[in-house]
């Protein structure tokens, strides 16, 4: 085998519950730091504080375990300092669909995303354990006595037995628990022991070491092939083309930061670790692993050491200044700044001293400036293997080219922990996960994001999902991407015999489901919209065009609202005809008159409004015994309605004239309800009868679809949903849907570019989740004068000076001349040279918990 190939092994064994023994006999206890909230996608400083709190709580308490020895300095006390190890891992591994999905959906997603990688992202913190324990730690003499007792705990090989660490192990475990840390799983520890391996079941495999970088391999055979390839003079930069599951890796060492005692809120790059670990497409470095090792020194001891260093340096600086040299003047200034922090009246923070910080970056790094780190960077030529080994759990190698001395806040606010996750299922097998559609992958950490139609029913959250974005932002394609997946999802509340269950019945893991699929209605009211008929038909969906010849009366209230809702359909019909025939503010007498007319027709078997009105008209004009039950208004409005229905094709949709005409029947699966060539979206300020007819066509399409899926755990998606809110009738309709959707077991999804209208209508209480897409540089203002981007932030309680607001206003390209893509934009990005898709649409997933996480949506090629 080539001399550059090295066996990459671990120097430790995990014995369970985070307890680790090393080859040199040491014992460590590891725990997982809380993963929420993320730092990269923090909404505000409060989120940053919450992320930092575990380390701010834990590290000072670990430092307090150091015994106090009067008059002893740092050199004498180092042997008593606690050694800690923070290991942040973000290793790519093949995407595997969520186990909450049915088998057919898992197979389909596996096929569509076969070459997609997700990242196993977590952060561990370990503390080296001591034998003995208890309060006697504060006495050095008791500590020495404990060391003597340790000798009696040695086994035949001279290794201290596990039980000798029990007391200290319990102490550290309690500190971990108090700080919110959790016990790592066996799978997590296996990954931590082999973090460079791109496999869901990592095992130790060799690596190849070169002068300035390394190479990793997915298995032994790839390693052997690589050895032959390089022995024959192959270029390592092309090896990835031969084996896509291996990659080059550079281990860089991170040195001192420009810390001068500022408040972390004032330091631009205080989240340096989060930037290193975030993926490149999300503006980060994409580091695979970040390792921080060092001794934790109590703050009081750090303060004493700084006093000594300051005096020595000041003396040298003064002497040099007198001699005309200024080499130590800068150092003296830096020490003065640090001293100001440690000399405060409060107890100073502990310091991580002699710290070794290494990052594994999955690319060949030629220059330190390629690394997204605000401090000193060492590339470690000819020392790659030593730095690599120093990152390992339990490694006996200590490679320290540039030791750092960091007070605890530098670590706590760096973003070492924190994983950007979103959605109703994150693919990690949690008990709270729900089946749904794969929206995409988080931009920063490549975590899968699923959107479930059952979230509100299961967790009792507000039922509506609002999707915002300007024209051209990709809203419709994102919605169809979701709809097509949900339409193939079996109803988890229904058996194959159609029996409804009050609680969700999980899918069988390895058996094809024969339950009915949930119904999905996609209402596209835009005239001459993009032709998605091929996409829908390919997925065995149904297409209903409102401009088709057989659409007469398809949205008539008497036809599309079921008989079980008889009172609702008559009331809706009365409201509709009252507004169309009497104006926006129809009087009470007209409504009562229309009630008698419509009720007479329905009582005599009419199944559409035109038939009902005609029956009442004929009975009234015949002056028979039933005439007194019918209001005289029928004689006035009937001729008018007959003329309008003959001349207006839109009115024909909501005012049927033929008995037994087509009804809006929604079967299982996907149904596209398209306006076709009809312009059914009215101007908001329009007050004519034509505008009222347009508004009622959109409303009845939404109402009819809702009635068809009600109680079936289905989904109604309304594109350009602002068209529903034209007046108080429309606001009342959407409010009613938001109030009743959860109890009626369906999910309303509203997509709109005019977000301010939802805010102005006071519908925030019904919106639980949201997807925010790009608004563009124009970002037109709404009726209140605020921009649409501001309205999005207000609706979802996000700061208007945050990253979300800024990114929503970025255009697709940096400038129109070069057409270079703007990677901060939320729009899909294309190569200006060949039109190739570089990155999918980014949408911010707005969670019920108030989080806003950017997600890259990778949609089907049929929709691009």
pLDDT of residue 309: 53
Tell whether 182 and 48 lie within a shared domain. Answer: yes
Residue 202 has pLDDT above 50, yes or no: yes
Residue 557 lies in a domain: yes
Q: Residue 71: which pLDDT band, with cuts at 50, 70 and 90?
A: low
Mean pLDDT of 644-665: 91
How far CA 550 is from CA of 553, 646, 653, in Å, comes to: 9, 15, 10
Residue 149 has pLDDT above 70, yes or no: no
Phi first, then psi, for residue 451 (nearest 5°) are: -115, 120
> What tokens appear for 448 in the block?
């899968």
316: containing domain:
300-347
Report d(CA 53, CA 63) in Å as an integer.
Answer: 16
Query: Which is higher by pLDDT, 534 or 344?
Result: 534
Mean pLDDT of 805-820: 89
pLDDT digits (tens, 9 = 90+) for 388-408: 999 999 988 899 888 899 999
Residue 318 has pLDDT above 70, yes or no: no
8 Å CB contact between 655 and 556: yes
> What tokens appear for 689 in the block?
């009868």
> What tokens appear for 663 in the block?
């009804």
Boundary of a domain, candidates 661, 682, 708: 661
pLDDT of residue 89: 95
Q: Residue 262: which pLDDT band, with cuts at 50, 70 and 90?
A: low
pLDDT of residue 863: 61
Q: Which residues, other chains included, contact 748 with Cβ-Cβ below 8 Å and sequence gap of 6+?
A: 463, 464, 465, 706, 716, 718, 737, 738, 741
Boundary of a domain, candidates 362, 383, 412: 412
Residue 83 has pLDDT above 80, yes or no: yes
Query: Which is higher by pLDDT, 67 or 197?
Result: 67
Taking CA 60 as the corner, what is the angle to CA 54 and CA 63, rounded to the nearest 5 degrees?
130
Percent of the chain with pLDDT over 70: 86
Domain tally for the chain? 3
pLDDT of residue 134: 45
8 Å CB contact between 420 and 38: yes
Residue 743 lies in a domain: no
pLDDT of residue 270: 87
Residue 195 lies in a domain: yes
Tell whether 325 and 196 lie within a shared domain. Answer: no
**Would you give the distance in Å from CA 600 to the centre of its chain?**
54
Report d(CA 268, CA 648) in Å as an integer.
Answer: 62
Report d(CA 557, CA 687) in Å as an integer.
Answer: 22
Q: Residue 728: which pLDDT band, with cuts at 50, 70 and 90?
A: confident
Tell whether 308 and 175 lie within a shared domain. Answer: no
Residue 451: strand, helix, or coil? strand
Mean pLDDT of 793-797: 90
Tell whether 42 and 124 lie within a shared domain. Answer: yes
Mean pLDDT of 325-329: 48
Alpha helices in 415-473 (DSSP H): 455-459
Residue 234 has pLDDT above 80, yes or no: no
**Would you give the distance in Å from CA 415 to the centre of its chain?**
17
At 378, which helix (H) or strand (E)? strand 377-378
Mean pLDDT of 763-786: 79
Strand partners, 751: 467
8 Å CB contact between 365 and 371: yes
Tell whether 284 and 231 lie within a shared domain. Answer: yes
> What tokens appear for 286 in the block?
């994409």
Mean pLDDT of 635-650: 94
Mean pLDDT of 780-806: 82
Phi first, then psi, for residue 319 (nearest 5°) are: -65, -40
Residue 109 has pLDDT above 80, yes or no: yes
Q: How far apart are the first and last CA of the chain?
A: 47
**Bridge pairing between strands 351-361 and 289-297:** antiparallel
Tell whether 177 and 219 lie within a shared domain. Answer: yes
Phi first, then psi, for residue 596 (nearest 5°) are: -65, -40
55-69, 205-219, 561-575, 795-809: least confident range: 205-219
Q: Which residues, other chains included, contact 416 with Cβ-Cβ below 8 Å and sequence gap of 6+?
A: 33, 55, 86, 88, 123, 273, 274, 290, 292
Tell whether 338 and 358 lie within a shared domain. Answer: no
Tell whether 237 and 277 lie within a shared domain. Answer: yes
Mean pLDDT of 449-458: 95
Q: Which residues, other chains included, contact 817 with Cβ-Cβ below 8 Å and sequence gap of 6+?
A: none
pLDDT of residue 481: 93
What Rg do the C-alpha atoms of the chain give, in angstroms? Answer: 34
Tell whether 408 and 313 lie within a shared domain. Answer: no
Q: Considering the chain, what is the average pLDDT of its residues?
A: 85
pLDDT of residue 524: 92
pLDDT of residue 311: 47
pLDDT of residue 621: 93
Mean pLDDT of 330-337: 48
Strand partners, 672: 522, 543
Residue 757 lies in a domain: no
Residue 138 has pLDDT above 70, yes or no: no
Mean pLDDT of 207-222: 82
Tell whether 337 and 372 lie within a shared domain. Answer: no
Q: Is the dihedral of CA 719, 723, 729, 732 positive or negative?
A: positive
Residue 135 has pLDDT above 90, yes or no: no
Residue 86: strand, helix, or coil? strand
At 15, which helix (H) or strand (E)? strand 12-16
Residue 172 lies in a domain: yes
Boundary of a domain, candidates 412, 447, 462: 412
Residue 45 lies in a domain: yes
pLDDT of residue 184: 96
Mean pLDDT of 409-430: 90
pLDDT of residue 724: 87
pLDDT digits (tens, 9 = 90+) for 613-635: 999 999 999 988 888 899 999 99
Residue 509 lies in a domain: no
Tell whether 316 and 375 lie within a shared domain. Answer: no
Q: Which residues, other chains included, contact 790 with Cβ-Cβ below 8 Å and sequence gap of 6+?
A: 800, 805
Tell whether 233 and 151 lie within a shared domain. Answer: yes
Residue 187 has pLDDT above 70, yes or no: yes
pLDDT of residue 5: 55
Q: Residue 265: which pLDDT band, with cuts at 50, 70 and 90?
A: low
Residue 466 lies in a domain: no
Q: How many CA atoms lie within 13 A of 621 on its CB side?
A: 11
Mean pLDDT of 705-731: 88
pTM over 0.85? The answer is yes
pLDDT of residue 178: 96
pLDDT of residue 310: 46
Q: Residue 47: which pLDDT band, with cuts at 50, 70 and 90?
A: confident
* Residue listed under structure tokens 């949408």: 843
Q: Residue 241: which pLDDT band, with cuts at 50, 70 and 90?
A: low
pLDDT of residue 155: 54
307-316, 524-533, 587-596: least confident range: 307-316
8 Å CB contact between 746 and 715: yes
8 Å CB contact between 478 and 859: yes
Q: Residue 8: which pLDDT band, with cuts at 50, 70 and 90?
A: low
Q: Residue 147: which pLDDT band, with cuts at 50, 70 and 90?
A: very low
């Amino acid at each position: 085998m080539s001399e550059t190939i090295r066996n990459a092994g671990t120097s430790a064994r995990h014995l369970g519950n985070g307890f680790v023994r090393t080859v040199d006999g040491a014992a460590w206890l590891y725990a997982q730091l809380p993963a929420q909230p993320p730092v990269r996608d923090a909404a505000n400083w409060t989120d940053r504080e919450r992320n930092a709190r575990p380390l701010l709580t834990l590290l000072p308490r670990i430092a307090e375990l150091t015994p106090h020895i009067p008059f002893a300095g740092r050199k004498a006390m180092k042997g008593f300092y606690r050694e800690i190890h923070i290991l942040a891992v973000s290793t790519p591994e093949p995407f595997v669909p969520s186990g909450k999905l049915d088998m057919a959906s898992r197979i389909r997603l596996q096929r569509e995303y076969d070459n997609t990688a997700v990242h196993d992202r977590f952060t561990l913190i370990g503390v080296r354990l001591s034998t003995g324990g208890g309060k006697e730690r504060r006495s050095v003499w008791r500590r020495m006595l404990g060391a003597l007792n340790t000798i009696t705990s040695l086994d035949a090989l001279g290794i201290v037995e596990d039980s000798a660490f029990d007391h200290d192990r319990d102490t550290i475990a309690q500190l971990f628990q108090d700080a919110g840390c959790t016990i790592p799983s066996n799978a997590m520890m296996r990954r931590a022991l082999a973090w460079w391996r791109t496999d869901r079941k990592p095992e130790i495999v060799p690596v190849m070491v070169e002068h300035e970088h390394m190479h990793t391999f997915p298995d032994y055979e790839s390693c052997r092939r690589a050895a032959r390839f390089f022995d024959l003079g192959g270029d390592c930069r092309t090896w990835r083309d031969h084996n896509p599951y291996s990659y080059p890796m550079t281990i860089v060492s991170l040195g001192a930061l420009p810390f001068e005692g500022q408040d972390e809120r004032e330091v631009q790059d205080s989240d340096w670790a989060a930037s290193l670990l975030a993926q490149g497409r999300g503006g980060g470095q994409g580091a695979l692993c970040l390792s921080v090792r060092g001794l934790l020194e109590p703050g009081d001891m750090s303060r004493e050491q700084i006093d000594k260093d300051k005096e020595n340096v000041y003396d040298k600086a003064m002497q040099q200044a007198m001699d005309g040299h200024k080499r130590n003047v800068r150092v003296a200034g830096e020490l003065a700044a640090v001293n100001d922090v440690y000399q405060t009246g409060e107890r100073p923070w502990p310091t991580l001293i002699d710290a070794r910080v290494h990052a594994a970056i999955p690319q060949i790094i030629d220059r330190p400036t390629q690394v997204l780190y605000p401090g000193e960077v060492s590339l470690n030529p000819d020392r790659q293997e030593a730095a690599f080994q120093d990152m390992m759990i339990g490694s006996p190698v200590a490679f320290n080219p540039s030791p750092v001395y960091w007070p605890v806040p530098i670590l706590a606010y760096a973003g070492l922990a924190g994983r950007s996750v979103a959605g109703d299922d994150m693919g990690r097998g949690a008990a709270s996960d729900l089946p749904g559609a794969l929206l995409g992958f988080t931009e920063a950490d490549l975590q899968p994001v699923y959107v479930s139609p059952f979230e509100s029913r299961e967790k009792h959250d507000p039922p509506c999902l609002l999707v915002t974005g300007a024209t051209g932002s990709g809203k419709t394609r994102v919605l169809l991407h979701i709809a097509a997946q949900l339409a193939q999802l079996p109803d988890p509340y229904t058996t194959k015999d159609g029996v409804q269950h009050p609680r969700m019945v999980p899918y069988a893991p390895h058996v094809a489901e024969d339950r009915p699929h949930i119904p999905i209605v996609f209402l596209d009211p835009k005239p001459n919209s993009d032709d998605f008929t091929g996409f829908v038909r390919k997925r065995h969906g149904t297409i209903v065009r409102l401009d088709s010849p057989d659409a007469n009366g398809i949205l008539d209230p008497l036809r599309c609202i079921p008989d079980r809702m008889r009172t609702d359909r008559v009331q809706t019909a009365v409201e509709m005809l009252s507004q169309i025939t009497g104006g926006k503010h129809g009087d009470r007498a007209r409504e009562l008159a229309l009630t008698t007319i419509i009720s007479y027709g329905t009582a005599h078997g009419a199944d559409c409004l035109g038939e009902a009105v005609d029956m009442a008209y004929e009975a009234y004009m015949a002056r028979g015994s039933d005439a007194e039950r019918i209001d005289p208004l029928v004689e006035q409005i009937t001729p008018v309605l007959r003329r309008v229905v003959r001349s207006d094709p839109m009115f024909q949709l909501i005012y049927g004239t033929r008995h037994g005409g087509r009804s809006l029947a929604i079967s299982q699966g996907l149904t596209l309800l398209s306006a076709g060539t009809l312009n059914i979206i009215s101007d908001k300020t329009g007050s004519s009868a034509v505008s009222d007819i347009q508004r009622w066509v959109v409303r009845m399409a939404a109402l009819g679809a809702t009635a068809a899926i009600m109680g079936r755990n289905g989904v109604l998606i309304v594109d350009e949903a602002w068209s529903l809110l034209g007046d108080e009738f429309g606001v009342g309709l959407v409010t009613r849907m938001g109030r009743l959707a959860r109890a009626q077991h369906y999910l309303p999804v509203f997509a709109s570019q005019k977000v301010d209208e939802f805010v102005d209508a006071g519908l925030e209480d019904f919106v639980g989740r949201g997807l925010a897409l790009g608004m563009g540089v124009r970002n037109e203002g709404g009726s209140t004068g605020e921009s649409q981007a501001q309205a999005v932030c207000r609706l979802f309680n996000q700061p208007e000076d945050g990253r979300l607001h800024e990114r929503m206003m970025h255009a697709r390209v940096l400038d129109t001349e070069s057409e270079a893509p703007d990677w901060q934009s939320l729009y899909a990005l294309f190569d200006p040279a060949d039109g190739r898709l570089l990155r999918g649409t980014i949408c911010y997933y707005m969670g019920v918990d108030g989080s806003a996480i950017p997600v890259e949506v990778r949609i089907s090629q049929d929709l691009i």
